[in-house]
Chains A and B, each alone.
Chain A
Amino acid sequence: MEDLRQFILDRKHRAFRRAVDRNLAAEYSALGLSPRERMTRRFEYLMSLETPVFLPGEKIVFLRTVENIPDCFTEEEWEGFRKEHFIHELGYLSNISPDYETVLREGLSSLRERGDEYVKRMIDAIFALSDRYRDEAVKQGRDDVAQILSRIPRQGATTFREALQLFRILHFSLWMEGNYHITTGRFDQYMWPYLKSDLEEGRLTEESAFALLKDFFLSFNKDNDLYPGVQQGDNGQSMVLGGITRDGAPAFNLLSKLCLQASRENLMIDPKINLRVSSDTPDEIYALGTELTKAGLGFPQYSNDDVVIDALVRKGYDLEDARDYVVAACWEFIIPKYGMDIDNIAALNFPKVINQVVHASARFASYEEFSQAVRAEIFAECDRQIRRKEYDNSPEKSFHVWFVPSPLMESLMCPKYYNFGMHGTGIATAADSMAAIRKYVFEENSVAWERLVSAVDNDFANEPELLHTLRYDAPKMGQNLPTPDEAAVFLLDCFADALEGRKTPMGGVWRAGTGSAMFYLLHAADLPASPDGRRKGEPFGANFSPSLFARTKGPFSVIASFSKPHLERVCNGGPLTMEFSSSVFDTAEGIEKTAKLVQSFIRMGGHQLQLNSVNPDTLRDAQKNPEAYRGLIVRIWGWSAYFTELDKEYQDHVIARQEYSL
């Protein structure tokens, strides 16, 4: 088992890969094939190229040996699509949570029966590959594998191991189809019946089940460098544990616990663990979560059922579905099987809103007038974002979002929700800017409006002392002070109000959120200085976090500030991120107190939380000596990655946010 982990860490399994250089797009285009036909044909072709490989000691098999998935449309064809439709990201389905449960129970034969011609062909291609794996297993004397592959994937799983193997085959196939950010959903719920019956009937002990689970978790790390994302690690293999069932009963079980422990022992970036908790969650579960935080993977990410379920119901989700929520690739809340939401289709740049208002020609007689102008600009910007997704700025044509059809993925969905999500970037920068304006311009009258605007326009070049005051002395969100915190509440209320009642072209609703994704860099890069003392181009805090130069006294004030907004109204997703020095976790006392802190955050009404255990000196050293730190893992905006594989701007942001960590 340890050998297999090391084998993968050493990337030896990559030796089995080969590249495909056929120009499928040109071939398919010449034949005039429909998109659905192309997707099916490509899948059949790639699966036929796959070579069965068994890594040393591995129990859960299927390894990608085809390195790349050639596009099935030409550049010109994509241009045509873009003229007719709104194309989201790469144009393929992503960020949804398929119905694994039914396939695990019934097997792929049953899905094949129900499916159309394309689904049938795709499933036949899966069967062909799994048969080749089975034959190879026989040849290599791996009778255990051969036996499992003689039942699944055709039939439903009868044991935990069969269920894990069937999941692996299905997940592998979904990636191969060309979808991405394929989440794993409520793994501890749909897998639990298989483990439970194995334990009850003596087929597995807790120890042997744990070993199997760890082996299975490694499978998420075999091909993940091939998956598309903004950076290595941004692959969306999220896993959600705990919470409550569709009936409202506590859902945390033995498998949930084993998953937390397996992640801690494997020390790899996938799967990305999320833990659902609420004010009723017992202390032991927080303790298990904190033990995992200590491992330094940036897991688990916590979400608060009290807030999230309420928020989803407010947005029109059925209560049972809301109770079943999971996260998309990072932290956007979605419903497995039923949710076709596009939870990251737009983003509101809060500091840009402030910048627009500051540069409006209007003069503001009071802070109240200024803040009403901010409210109006939030409404205007949200409207621009929404209309862009509908018409792409050409109101004479009505555009719709179009995805490349994915027969296999679609056969695992039962679409019910078509909502859109809008991120909210740089909330702390904007709230701090409003606070500075309120305090210095309107309350103390110590800085004239014109002076502030001119200092911002000059990037504070001639105003070092004003810069220092705004940047370091002014009140900041995260310090539990009324001025910035009221501004944050105001901004997020405006955001929620602006999307209230707005409809998507498919009749869904718009959801406001507190996430930034990569926009904490992208939205900030071109933005001039802001009135909180942020200089031109400097990044915002990631997601729902204090600004990078806010000096907080510690996590009590931070969680107090960040639980004040009406989060049940802005619940598209987007966590508060806090960094702790790894030394906090050196003692049992430190772990226990950290667990209590998380519990307090949940009880105070926070919605989502990421905790990182880091050592900034290690990070700096890793920048200088990357080879010595290949296994070093950090949390980025909603996923964990190997630090040395990141672009420098992402590395620098991680280091910058540690400056004032505990």
Chain B
Amino acid sequence: MIGRLFDVKEFAVHDGPGARMTFFLKGCPLRCLWCHNPEGQRFDKELMVRSALCEHCGLCSRPAENELFRSYGRNPASCPKGLISECGEDLTPSELVDRVLPLKEILTSMGGGVTLSGGEPLMQGDFLLECCALLRDHGIHLALETCGYASEEVFREAVGAVDYVMMDLKIMDPEAHKSATGVSNEIILKNARYLMESGREFVFRTPLIPRYTDSPENLEAIASFVGEAPWETLPYNELAGAKYSMLNRIYPLDEKKENEI
């Protein structure tokens, strides 16, 4: 079995309790306008070019030996500044575990563990569950970061496989949710209700996106849905659009702003 990552980070301080190592799984069913990890949206591998530092030496046009690189039309392996990278790394669950084990002691001593995030990690449900099972055998604390958009079956299994769940609740109005994220929130809310009753430790999270999620009506609606359950808001990241140009894409919120002007 093979999974696909777009990033791995150590010491992600806001990804669950203690100090954590976070694996970002590639691919997401949502297309949130404010997404700050656009390279996590598509499952397919893609090139990321940090063109701001490019000196236009032209070496990346040298033909690549690697077939995939040839298909990109640029050769990441010949950029002398390492500005071009292929985003998307395939590995097996046991390879993922091999990366965690050397750090097990430090993760444990800092009261942390591993967080599986994305993208949307539940899109690679089988891989995720297998990773969880192996990591659990090593006694590693597991957290899941999800948008909650997954089949009930996958969602329930995943909740059962981890120690802690961080789940987004973005917009309560179904229409508004669909227009801002591309999908209806029906499944999400259903899964959220399950989570509340699952007995699993969790937190709901709402990113505060100006004009999309931060209206008093939306926040009140979320508050009433959440009730007494743990819920936190996340401030809007001003640099959210930074990676779009590296993927040769346009940050949807910038585009909208320009259209309004």
Contact = CB atoms under 8 A, between A and B. Distances in A.
Contacts, number: 76
Given A464-B59, A465-B77, A472-B82, A556 B8 contact: no
Nearest to A580: B11
A388 to B, nearest CB: 37
A257 interface: no
Contacts of A250: none
A596 B77 contact: no
B103 interface: yes
Contacts of B11: 554-556, 593, 597, 662
Interface stretch (B12-20, B34-42, B157-165): B12-20
Contacts of A551: 82
Contact of B106 (A464, A471, A556): A556
Given A556-B11, A590-B14, A469 B110 contact: no
A560 B107 CA distance: 11
A311 B69 CA distance: 51
A178 B75 CA distance: 58
A549 interface: yes
A603 B103 contact: no
Contacts of A559: 106
A589 B13 contact: yes
Interface string A558-579: 0110000000000000000000
B78 A465 contact: yes
Contact of A600 (B77, B79, B110): B110
B102 interface: yes
B10 interface: yes
Contact of B109 (A589, A593, A594, A603): A603
A587 interface: yes
Contacts of B80: 460, 464, 467-468, 471
A467 B14 CA distance: 36
A554 B10 contact: yes
B62 interface: yes
Contacts of B110: 593, 596-597, 600
Interface in B1-25: 8-11, 13-14, 18-19, 21
Interface residues of A, number: 30
Interface string B99-123: 0001100110111000000000000
A597 B110 CA distance: 7
Contact of A556 (B10, B59, B75): B10
A593 B102 contact: no
A468 B79 CA distance: 7
Contacts of A662: 11
Contacts of B82: 468, 471-472, 549, 551
A468 B77 contact: yes
Most buried by A among B9, B14, B21, B62: B14
B62 A593 contact: no
A600 B107 CA distance: 9
Contact of A604 (B13, B21, B59, B106): B106
B211 to A, nearest CB: 23
Interface in B60-108: 62, 75-80, 82, 102-103, 106-107
Nearest to B65: A465
A480 interface: yes
B10 A555 contact: yes
A174 B77 CA distance: 57
Most buried by A among B10, B78, B103, B111: B10
A584 interface: yes
Contacts of A594: 13
A553 B109 CA distance: 19
B110 to A, nearest CB: 5
B10 A553 contact: yes
Given A560-B106, A600-B110, A603-B109, A590 B10 contact: no
Contacts of A68: none
A51 interface: no
A603 B111 CA distance: 15
A557 interface: yes
Contacts of A469: 77
B236 to A, nearest CB: 13
Interface string A83-111: 00000000000000000000000000000
Contacts of A589: 13-14
Interface string B233-247: 000000000000000
A604 B79 CA distance: 37
B109 A560 contact: no
Contacts of A560: 102-103, 106
Given A472-B82, A600-B109, A554 B9 contact: yes
B109 A464 contact: no
Interface in A577-619: 584, 587, 589-590, 593-594, 596-597, 600, 603-604
A460 B8 CA distance: 30
A555 B8 CA distance: 12
Nearest to B9: A554
A473 to B, nearest CB: 8
B186 to A, nearest CB: 33
A593 B106 contact: no
A465 B63 CA distance: 11
Contacts of A460: 80
Given A556-B19, A560-B102, A603-B109, A464 B8 contact: no
A587 B14 contact: yes
Contacts of B13: 584, 587, 589-590, 593-594
Contacts of A464: 59, 62, 78-80
Most buried by B among A471, A557, A587, A593: A593
Contact of B9 (A553, A590, A596, A600): A553
A301 to B, nearest CB: 20
Nearest to B62: A464
Contacts of B8: 553
A596 B111 contact: yes
A593 to B, nearest CB: 5
Interface in A152-168: none
A557 B78 contact: no
B10 A557 contact: yes
Contacts of A472: 82
B77 A556 contact: no
A164 to B, nearest CB: 38
Contacts of B106: 556, 559-560, 600, 604
Nearest to B76: A468
A556 B9 contact: no
Contacts of A549: 82
A472 B59 CA distance: 16
A216 B150 CA distance: 62
Most buried by A among B21, B78, B103, B106: B106
A554 B102 CA distance: 13
Interface string A452-476: 0000000010001101110110000
Contacts of A471: 80, 82
Contacts of B62: 464-465
A555 B79 CA distance: 26
Contacts of B107: 556
B10 A593 contact: no
Contact of B21 (A556, A593, A597): A556
Contacts of A480: 102-103
Nearest to B99: A553
A597 B20 CA distance: 11
Nearest to B64: A465
Contacts of A468: 76-80, 82
Most buried by B among A468, A551, A662: A468
7 contacts: A468-B80, A471-B80, A549-B82, A553-B9, A557-B103, A597-B11, A597-B110
Closest 6 CB pairs of A and B: A554-B10, A464-B78, A556-B10, A472-B82, A590-B13, A554-B11
Given A553-B9, A559-B106, A596-B18, 12 more contacts: A460-B80, A464-B59, A464-B78, A464-B80, A468-B78, A471-B82, A554-B11, A560-B103, A587-B13, A593-B11, A594-B13, A600-B19
